[in-house]
Amino acid sequence: MNTSKPIPQWRIVAASVCGTSHLKNKQLCQDAHHWQILPNNVLVVAAADGAGSASQGKVGAMVAVETAIEYISIQKVTRYTLADDALLRELLTEALLAAKKAVEDEAANRNHQPHDLATTLIIMVATPEIVAVAQIGDGLAVAKNSMGNLLALTIPNNGEYINETTFLTTQNALHTAQMRIWREDIVNIGVLTDGLQMLALNMGVGEPHKPFFFPLFEFVANAEDKTMAKEQLVGFLSSERITQRTDDDLTLVLAAFSN
């Protein structure tokens, strides 16, 4: 009898849910996320949080994540690209620029100003050997290696005042972008918007909160039914345990590389 070995692959569970404050005010969820698996186990993730003060923030977030993923997916991301830090940084920078232009073009098409579509943006490219992240604004990107070490690849970029941050449409936004490349045996990644960052990050020392991430990473590693797993993640994000701590929109993208 022939028995085939399971093919190593990424497992992803992701969700964006409306915060309780937006539900009370009958507003749309301003968050958006998108992901795609490219050849050779290259995972690309994007998450965005449309500004609450922006009338078209949801549109800006959706355009940003979809454009960023589309841009990277049509590039030839080869082993040579992944092995060169400069090429990776160039790829991420060009993806940010493409997203920024797309948001500005969408604003013009709608007869709005770019700030009406203001949004943050996190872009991640991950393989089992490397993870690279670019971020404008708040939110958080983390990764765990095979030794169980958990690293905050980015930290929230908050301004002088609480809930203040830089947006993709802000002038000179790209000059504020955080970029990080981590070359390790990657087994988990996580990307989240600012609604969860107070639960997921020890803000005092800038370290990710292991009791938050480790059970979630175990959950995604064992998630065989994608539909059920997404329903469970939505239920978690909508639970009283979470909504007692935050009333903001929530996005969480989780991935595990499983052998």
- Given a cut of 70, whether residue 252 has pLDDT beyond it is yes
User: How far apart, in whole angstroms, are the C-alpha atoms of residue 194 and residue 251?
Assistant: 8
The one-letter amino acid code at 235 reads G
- Given a cut of 50, whether residue 160 has pLDDT beyond it is no
Question: Which stretch, 4-8, 147-151, 154-158, has highest mean pLDDT?
Answer: 147-151
Residue 4 lies in a domain: no
Task: Answer for the pair 169, 60: CB distance below 8 angstroms, yes or no.
Answer: yes
Model confidence pLDDT, tens digit, residues 10-67: 999 999 998 887 677 777 889 999 999 999 999 999 999 999 888 899 999 999 999 9
Residue 44 lies in a domain: yes
Residue 50 lies in a domain: yes
Q: Average of pLDDT values for 176-196?
A: 96
Residue 1 lies in a domain: no
Least confident of 160-164, 193-197, 198-202: 160-164
- Given a cut of 70, whether residue 222 has pLDDT beyond it is yes
Residue 129 lies in a domain: yes
Res 52: pLDDT: 82
Task: Answer for the pair 31, 61: CB distance below 8 angstroms, yes or no.
Answer: yes
Residue 245 lies in a domain: yes
Res 117: pLDDT: 95
Domain count, the chain: 1
The answer to whether the predicted template modeling score (pTM) of the entire model surpasses 0.85 is yes
- Given a cut of 80, whether residue 203 has pLDDT beyond it is no
| Nearest CA among 61, 59, 169 for reference residue 114 | 169
Q: Average of pLDDT values for 171-180?
A: 93
Which range marks the domain in which residue 64 is found? 9-258
CATH number, domain at 170? Answer: 3.60.40.10
Residue 2 lies in a domain: no
Residue 252 lies in a domain: yes
Res 5: pLDDT: 64
Exposed (0-12), middle (13-18) or buried (19+): which is 4, by Cβ within 10 Å? exposed
| Nearest CA among 181, 221, 163, 185 for reference residue 85 | 181
- Given a cut of 70, whether residue 6 has pLDDT beyond it is no
Res 37: pLDDT: 96
